[in-house]
Amino acid sequence: MKNKLGIITILILTVALVAGLVLVRRNQDARKSAYFAQSRVYLMPTEFEMNVGEEKMVHLYVDTGSIVGGDGELARIQSIQTQICFSDKIAVAVENSRDNLENAISYNAENGFEDVALARLETTDEGRNCLNLAIVSDSFDNLKSGVVDVGSIKFKGVVEGGGTISITQDKTTVSGENVNDSLDKEIKVETVEGVSFQIKTGGVEPTITVEPTVTEAPTGNWPVLNFKVAFRDIKAEAKCGLGDQNKVSIIALAANGTKKAYENVAVIKTDEKNSDGMGIYQGRIELRDFNYMDNVAIFVKGPRDLQWKYGKNNQDGFYDKAGGELTGLTKDENSPVKDFSEFPLIPGDISGATEGVQDGQIDGRDFSLVKARGAPGVKADDGTFVLTDLDGDCMTISLDYIHLLNSIKEKQEQIY
């Protein structure tokens, strides 16, 4: 009898255990579909106006709801991954480099966030530009609940007109701390809300003013490069070429492959012109941390130009050799001047995946921006740097399209 009862008991317990496991699995599946809390993701301000060339900070917010079964306690947010899309009237205000987004995107440390884990720009099949973004925290100590300012994105006006900055809901996920289940962290994104904007020109041709960089006196510790350059379609008499001063980027290359890059190198317009009548600009840079004075090559990139390689003095054509032949650099300000003006920089690289940000190519994106900013008869002030004015006549007109079409065949800048 005991053995019989024992067997029955075991059978009952086994059935109960199986049933319990099924119930647990069902409950787990139900919880996974229900999330442990809900949230609203939105941008602020809800609408704004600005002029072409101006910048505006747009803040990303998450409004967290109550934890399921948490007696009204609000969920605390730990991370958000999202996609923010916008029209070609506006762009993320990237500085210095097309790959450098750190100056345009920030996380809110006061609300517990510690890193921008993902920041990548892409263009959708529909032609909209999208920022894929993730902002995270690695700890639970300072996480906030309720209405939380996660971080901000700096946008700039590109072209006159209106549009929206939207959040892609199915590409937005939010996670947080769940006091009831340490493994269940996903917060349902119930709604998303974007913003609307209006870009105005104020009746003036869109311009980008570039402040000159002061050339510091050489320290005497490194080679000094004095150089001359020209810009293919900017004649000596141009009033809006690069203004009185502007900037170029320089890369120095040694025979052993050592490279050093220098940004914001000031160039000043001289009274000289090359054999084609283009204005000559002169600059100087101390090649700090680059201890080579012979067999050197220099790469130069202008603010709207492809990067060209200069491997010898008085170069008048494409340099297709490895290394370089520049020699005789000294460590004082009277280092010999290297003249590259007979092989001018090629204009047209004015836009990439982000409007107005160079990408090392001249293609349809550049043409689209010139076309969008074309305003026949609207003249900028003399000495103004106008991004899409490729010949320095202070206007963006059909002639600039021709200059750009002449440049498209070049396609790629020199990088080696």
Considering its fold, how many domains does the chain have in total? 2
- Check pLDDT > 80 for residue 107: yes
Average pLDDT, the chain: 80
Do 247 and 391 fall within a single domain?
A: yes
- Check pLDDT > 80 for residue 110: yes
pLDDT band at 343 (very low <50, low <70, confident <90, very high): very high
Task: List the domain range (segments joined by +) for residue 70.
Answer: 36-200
Q: Is residue 233 part of a domain?
A: yes
Do 190 and 46 fall within a single domain?
A: yes
* Segments in 163-253 forming alpha helices (H): none
Do 233 and 381 fall within a single domain?
A: yes
Do 188 and 249 fall within a single domain?
A: no
Q: Which of residues 166, 200, 234 is at a domain's end?
A: 200
Q: What is residue 141's predicted lDDT score, i.e. its pLDDT?
A: 75
pLDDT band at 4 (very low <50, low <70, confident <90, very high): very low
Q: What is residue 17's predicted lDDT score, i.e. its pLDDT?
A: 40
Q: What is residue 166's predicted lDDT score, i.e. its pLDDT?
A: 94
Q: What is residue 193's predicted lDDT score, i.e. its pLDDT?
A: 92
| Between 185 and 279, the higher pLDDT residue | 279
Do 152 and 279 fall within a single domain?
A: no
- 68-77, 173-182, 231-240, 383-392: least confident range: 173-182
pLDDT band at 182 (very low <50, low <70, confident <90, very high): low
Q: What is residue 67's predicted lDDT score, i.e. its pLDDT?
A: 81
Q: What is residue 49's predicted lDDT score, i.e. its pLDDT?
A: 86
- Check pLDDT > 50 for residue 16: no
For residues 176-183, give the mean pLDDT.
69
Q: What is residue 183's predicted lDDT score, i.e. its pLDDT?
A: 65
DSSP state of 410: T
Do 193 and 238 fall within a single domain?
A: no
For residues 193-219, give the mean pLDDT.
62
Let me know: does 158 contact 129? Beta carbons within 8 Å.
Answer: no
Do 194 and 280 fall within a single domain?
A: no
Do 125 and 250 fall within a single domain?
A: no
Do 233 and 146 fall within a single domain?
A: no
- Check pLDDT > 70 for residue 204: no
% residues pLDDT > 90 (the chain):
32
CATH code where residue 120 lies:
2.60.40.680
Q: Which of these, 147, 165, 144, lies nearest to 45 by C-alpha position?
A: 165
Do 52 and 112 fall within a single domain?
A: yes
Q: Is residue 102 part of a domain?
A: yes
Let me know: does 36 contact 75? Beta carbons within 8 Å.
Answer: yes
Q: Is residue 217 part of a domain?
A: no
Do 109 and 180 fall within a single domain?
A: yes
Exposure pattern of 9-44 as b/e (b: 16+ CB <10 Å)?
A: eeeeeeeeeeeeeeeeeeeeeeeeeebbbbbbbbbe
Alpha-carbon span 56 to 67, nearest angstrom: 35
Alpha-carbon span 370 to 388, nearest angstrom: 5
Q: Is residue 244 part of a domain?
A: yes
Kindly state the tokens that stand for 53.
């060339």
SS3 breakdown of the chain: % helix, strand, coil, rounded to 5?
A: 15, 40, 45
Q: What is the pTM of this model?
A: 0.50
Kindly state the tokens that stand for 339.
């003249």
In the block, tokens 């916008």 appear at 86
pLDDT digits (tens, 9 = 90+) for 22-38: 443 444 444 444 578 88
- Check pLDDT > 50 for residue 379: yes
Q: Is residue 81 part of a domain?
A: yes
For residues 46-51, give the mean pLDDT.
86
Q: Is residue 232 part of a domain?
A: yes
Rg (C-alpha) for the chain, rounded Å, is 29
% residues pLDDT > 70 (the chain):
81
Q: What is residue 416's predicted lDDT score, i.e. its pLDDT?
A: 61
Q: Is residue 12 part of a domain?
A: no
pLDDT band at 95 (very low <50, low <70, confident <90, very high): low
For the chain, how far is it from start to end, CA to CA, in angstroms? 91
Do 195 and 230 fall within a single domain?
A: no
pLDDT digits (tens, 9 = 90+) for 115-130: 888 888 888 777 788 9
Q: Is residue 125 part of a domain?
A: yes
For residues 251-260, give the mean pLDDT.
91
Exposure pattern of 46-57 as b/e (b: 16+ CB <10 Å)?
A: eebebebbeebe
Alpha-carbon span 369 to 375, nearest angstrom: 12
- Check pLDDT > 70 for residue 7: no
3 state SS of 278: strand
Q: What is residue 316's predicted lDDT score, i.e. its pLDDT?
A: 93
Alpha-carbon span 348 to 367, nearest angstrom: 8
Q: What is residue 71's predicted lDDT score, i.e. its pLDDT?
A: 75
- Check pLDDT > 50 for residue 12: no
Q: What is residue 43's predicted lDDT score, i.e. its pLDDT?
A: 92
